[in-house]
Amino acid sequence: RRSFNGNALYTAVFKEYIYSMLNRNTPMEYFIEGGRSRTGLLLPPKKGMLAMTIQSYLRGNSKPIAFIPTYFGYEKLIEGSSYIKELGGQKKQAESLFGLLKSIQKIEKVFGVVHVNLGEPVFLEEILKKNNAPQRVALHEEMPESVKATVNDVAFDILENINKAVVINPISLISLVLLNAPTHALAEREVLVRLEQFRNLLKQHRYDERMQITELSNTEIIQYAMKLKQVELIEHDNERWVKVSDIQVGLLKYFSNNILHTFILPALIAKVLRVETEQQLFEISKSDLYTQVIEQYPLIQKAFFLKWDESEIESEITQIVDYFVAEKLITLEADQSIKISNADPKIRLLSALAHLYDVNVVKEPEKESKEK
């Protein structure tokens, strides 16, 4: 005799529902984060729906399953005010009809473009075979460890492939530049330079072939951000500065975090180099640089769902080092040492990238985990 509590009964019914959907070959849509991210970073996966989908598939009578990771990139948030309240500690507001009606009133305002990009499919059968999972599992049968491993692998593959499909839109890019500057403001000429430098980095070290980068010019990016009222122009020291208004700082953090994973490995390399400069040591051996970065890489790989495994990371470091050489941040010497430029403009770029690492590694992922 089996007794069900409310949650167990709900789960059993929902499994039957998923099973019937799969048998009818009906596409399903769900989000394995299980909720809205307050920071714009990917949340660790909640695997309940995935587990039920995979269990239903293993009951049989289903065609092969492919999960299609989908990246959504926004340029402005309709629920911006509630988002700011959540950052201040309030609980996330539950979705409701009243909330929907309030949102409709805002539709007439300019909210930019919603960017949708499809990631590389994740094929369930391949991962089941890799983990030597059984071909059939009954509904009430205990889930084998091989199937649990499959659920984990599918979840993380989905998140990694969402990151591969990232869209570098104008607002996320200018947000990354300005939020990484003192007082969240820079002279317009410096903003143009930094936008170009970051674009060049993305081209030199392209995160993935599915990644898309805005086609707007650097000047057009500033104008577009002003049109969406995300930034403002001010006069300072007899020249024009681009500034994030105080009320927008928290919101723009969301957009910059959407693309942070594409910059976090260069930021780690810059961090290692900057430590040398802070000690007035403007030289480091190439092997020492690589060793330090490789040792610290597992931390950011897990936190930001980065796609490179240990066998690939050295090649990625080389591409970024080549970019640093092209930007004249460093020079590679014949004896395999790296000399770091002490020219002020170069140090500023190195410091900007290192600052990304300082403020985002450990702090933000830990915060997200606690909020769950």
Contact present, 147 and 200 (Cβ < 8 Å):
no
Q: What are phi and psi of 332, to 5 degrees?
A: -95, 125
**Model pLDDT, residue 90:** 56
Domains of the chain: 6-73+112-164 (no CATH), 77-110 (no CATH), 166-259 (1.10.10.10), 263-372 (1.10.10.10)
Contact present, 181 and 352 (Cβ < 8 Å):
yes
Bridge-based pairing state of the strands 337-340 and 330-332:
antiparallel
| d(C-alpha 56, C-alpha 203), whole Å | 43
**Model pLDDT, residue 40:** 80
pTM of the prediction? 0.84
Beta-strand runs (E) in 185-237: 185-187, 212-213, 232-236
**Model pLDDT, residue 89:** 54
| d(C-alpha 106, C-alpha 147), whole Å | 45
**Model pLDDT, residue 3:** 42
**Model pLDDT, residue 88:** 52
**Model pLDDT, residue 361:** 87
Bridge-based pairing state of the strands 232-236 and 185-187:
unpaired
At a CB cut-off of 8 Å and minimum separation 6, what does 314 contact?
Answer: 290, 294
How far does CA 227 lie from the centroid of its chain? 25
| d(C-alpha 80, C-alpha 93), whole Å | 12
Alpha carbons within 13 angstroms on the beta-carbon side of residue 31 total 10
Question: pLDDT 10s per residue in the chain (372 long)?
Answer: 344 445 666 677 777 888 888 888 888 888 887 555 667 888 888 898 899 899 889 988 678 999 999 999 989 876 555 555 555 555 655 555 555 455 545 444 667 899 999 999 999 999 999 999 998 888 777 889 999 999 999 999 999 999 999 999 999 999 999 998 888 999 999 999 999 999 999 999 999 999 999 999 999 999 999 999 899 999 988 999 999 987 788 888 889 999 999 999 999 999 999 999 988 889 999 999 999 999 999 999 999 999 999 899 999 999 999 999 999 999 999 988 999 998 888 888 999 999 999 988 855 444 444 443
**Model pLDDT, residue 324:** 95
